[in-house]
Structure 1
Amino acid sequence: MDLEAWSAMQTEVVKFYSFVCAVYAPVTEWKFTRFLIHIFLQENGHLQKMASLQAASIGWPAVPGIPTTPVVKRVIRLDVPVDKYPDFNFVGRILGPRGNSLKRVEALTECRVYIRGKGSVKDSLKEEKLKDKPGYEHLNEPLHVLVEAEFPENIINARLDHAVTILESLLRPVDESLDHYKKQQLRELAMLNGTLREESPSMSPSMSPSMSPFNSAGMKRAKTGR
């Protein structure tokens, strides 16, 4: 390969990585970005050899062909203390208005959160019909939350710990008169319904800004039942 062709190959690689970093990385999970790179290199085999050199020079560690930390998947279960607090609405507290609180927890931690077990389906009659069907066996178990993450081994524990810390704070009942978190949820519900009249309540003193599910965008969906 002559010098001109080699230089053109380098330019093509640089343009590709710049495009992925600028366009895809901010709005997708790192796993999808890595997948795009893998597909591109498969379709452009002549770039495979150059990819490793170029990626190293711009600090891109997760490119195919470069040794990287293994990606692992882990799930943590948190039991909901419904026996101790039978009248407390744990599901509503975790979900928030239209599931937004749970979505924010997911966006903030990049973990997936699932509400499972008895009471995770809003309609009790529907839950009764579903619990013996395949895929709904969890409805026969006590109410619980599953936190699922899939990340490189060197960061997955930190992500899970962050999510667990937030969720554990939500699973601690607070006196209604002191529950600033619930007031925030009620205010959000009023905003969604177009009935907001009062000023925004302050953030719960027991929850720092980095932990608050009210401080993150990029929400997806809430998951209960199945």
Structure 2
Amino acid sequence: MRISKRLGHLLLAPVCMLIVANAAGTASNPADLSKVVHVAFEAADDGFDMVRTNNSLYSTWVGEAIYESLLTYDYLARPAKLIPKTVEAMPEISKDGRTYVFHIKKGIFFTPDPAFNGARRELTAQDYAYSIKRVLDPKNRSPQASSFEGKIVGLDAIVEEAKKLGQFNYDAPVAGLETLDRYTLRIQLNALDQTFLYLLAHSTTGAVAREVIEKYGADSGRHPVGTGAYFLKEYVPRSK
């Protein structure tokens, strides 16, 4: 299990968030727990279900500390470039550039939550497949949905069916979004798209657990549960 090397908390106020480190580590020089960092936000957040948030800068800042995407950026590189985050390496790419295979690192766990009924919940490839599907679920009205429309083989058909039936079938097989095993995710695109990998480095596609979303439903933005180094401790919407 990956854990943070130090336990601390950030109090972001006013119009802010309080998040604390996920777990204590064995660092030789641990953080001083009496220290608090206050950060003022100039505008209100709009929750922390990153699929539903309306591109709020402050929601994104906090969300990136809680959720983990497949890829992230090496901001010190010139120019900045994509690097692995929860995957063992950059994806294997087919010769035609339309198929990507990701190998998820083993031993990454979600923050403990009642939704898991006391069990340690490991991150799997299925969590990313589920998270991508949520972006296109019509009920979520995700501002990011247009970024994924028409891209993944077979996924648009599931979306159209959901629009007709009023319910997204998360268990329906999608040819272009497959979990080959517990830790392997294969994504096949309808056409070559050199920008697609950048979508997988955004907090919108950060992994969420299906159990959490189904437990909290429309209120999941107040109960963010991810695999990142921080978790939400206290939240007063649009205030603290």
Scaled by the length of structure 1, what TM-score is found?
0.25
Scaled by the length of structure 2, what TM-score is found?
0.24
Structure (1 or 2) with the greater strand fraction = 2
